[in-house]
Structure 1
């Protein structure tokens, strides 16, 4: 385990232990969710899009997060303009429940694209399908997976995707605030201390920095860090 990985796991374990000292909530099964880390690589250091959640949110209020949210049942039925790469789809199927099927994996990518539209007003639907939700998810990389530890008011099994703006012809200047996320900001992936982020978001950004240093193109099908809780400690494994 390298120093950065050890530091990430220790950070999450410390966060989990602090949370367990607070009021715990009844046991809840985590709900499938997805986030999209949209990257602008027009400058020397890639920048990621994050926005601030409002005070009224029950989950992570006043913190900057990637656009994303839970997978809705309807997401599984949304047609795609272009599908996920096979290597990404195969990774999404690893360590899943028996009832998690191919359409659910595809639905996660749809959820990430849909939430990007709802929260940042950026459509991933190509012009030929204008007016529809029919996203192009062919450039999505599966970057990380994290399950909220037990005892929290909300629990999610979140898959983090990453994609470059230029690959889908997206203009970073066209993002707009929404009711869900405001103060949308493009933050350098290696310099985000000025903004309050959830610890898991900082850890995922750290993983992203490592991945970009290994290969700036973020190849499809690479090993994916999976964070979850076991016996009160956060575990990081590669899938």
Structure 2
């Protein structure tokens, strides 16, 4: 999460910033595994907790190159239930932010569709990304984010799971059995959304792009779940 080790400021205490996270699953073996990493202790937001790769959307994400666009049903869901207007370009930028953060935090690159993709910001294919959850950080936190969670699989994204590397942002990166992470120190919302994904994949091991999206927002001190 770029710049997330800066000290808290009032700029982050009000309206949530747009953010994105990527739930990456390895289904090459009998037990499906999900990629999680521990946020560094110096982070102002969720220090020392295990999370999915992700971070806030930066202005430059709007201009990052891509070779394949989001599925139309994904774009439709991203544009739904907004408190303020967002364009299809803004929705795409969220997906590009999730992929950029994956690269920065783990060293993994989504399939580019290009023969030569050595550039730091080589064009990426967004067509395999599902939109599976949205959550807004409750009031009272030093930083608040309106996070959209995307899902894809290592085989679809042409990713070798062994190529992960720790970064200053995420430490102790691990591929963990999705059904056996009960003892992991992770935020409640991360655990809830992972549970939603497990249920989604029980219904369809390769989920489609138009599934209902759970949206978690705080009401009177507790998360309330709506469906988009």
Kindly indicate whether residue 184 of structure 2 is the aligned counterpart of residue 213 of structure 1: no
CA deviation vs aligned residue, 1:13-49 (integer Å, no higher than 9, x gap): xxxxxxxxxxxx8951000000000000012221110
CA deviation vs aligned residue, 1:146-165 (integer Å, no higher than 9, x gap): 00011111100000000000
Out of 70, 79, 89, the position equivalent to 1:93 is 79
User: Counterparts of 2:221 and 2:157 in 1: how far apart (Å)?
Assistant: 41
Kindly indicate whether residue 227 of structure 2 is the aligned counterpart of residue 238 of structure 1: yes
- Structure 2 counterpart of 1:31: 17
Q: 1:44 to 1:125 in 2, by over 3 A?
A: closer
> What does 1:218-229 correspond to in 2, within 5 Å?
218-229=207-218
Kindly indicate whether residue 130 of structure 2 is the aligned counterpart of residue 128 of structure 1: no
Kindly indicate whether residue 32 of structure 2 is the aligned counterpart of residue 46 of structure 1: yes
* Coordinate RMSD, CA, aligned: 1.5
Out of 178, 196, 203, the position equivalent to 2:185 is 196
> What does 1:11-22 correspond to in 2, within 5 Å?
none
Detail structure 1 runs of 4+ shifted over 4 Å in the superposition: none
Which 5+ residue runs of structure 1 have no aligned equivalent?
Answer: 1-24
Which 5+ residue runs of structure 2 have no aligned equivalent?
Answer: 1-9
User: Counterparts of 1:128 and 1:202 in 2: how far apart (Å)?
Assistant: 38
TM-score (structure 1 length as normaliser)? 0.86
User: Counterparts of 1:93 and 1:128 in 2: how far apart (Å)?
Assistant: 32
User: Counterparts of 1:125 and 1:42 in 2: how far apart (Å)?
Assistant: 17
Contact 2:13 2:144 in 1 (8 A): no
- Structure 2 counterpart of 1:19: none
The number of aligned residues is 215
Name the structure where helix makes up a greater proportion of residues: 1
Kindly indicate whether residue 50 of structure 2 is the aligned counterpart of residue 61 of structure 1: no
Kindly indicate whether residue 171 of structure 2 is the aligned counterpart of residue 171 of structure 1: no
Kindly indicate whether residue 85 of structure 2 is the aligned counterpart of residue 83 of structure 1: no
User: Counterparts of 1:143 and 1:166 in 2: how far apart (Å)?
Assistant: 18
Q: CA deviation at 1:208?
A: 0.7
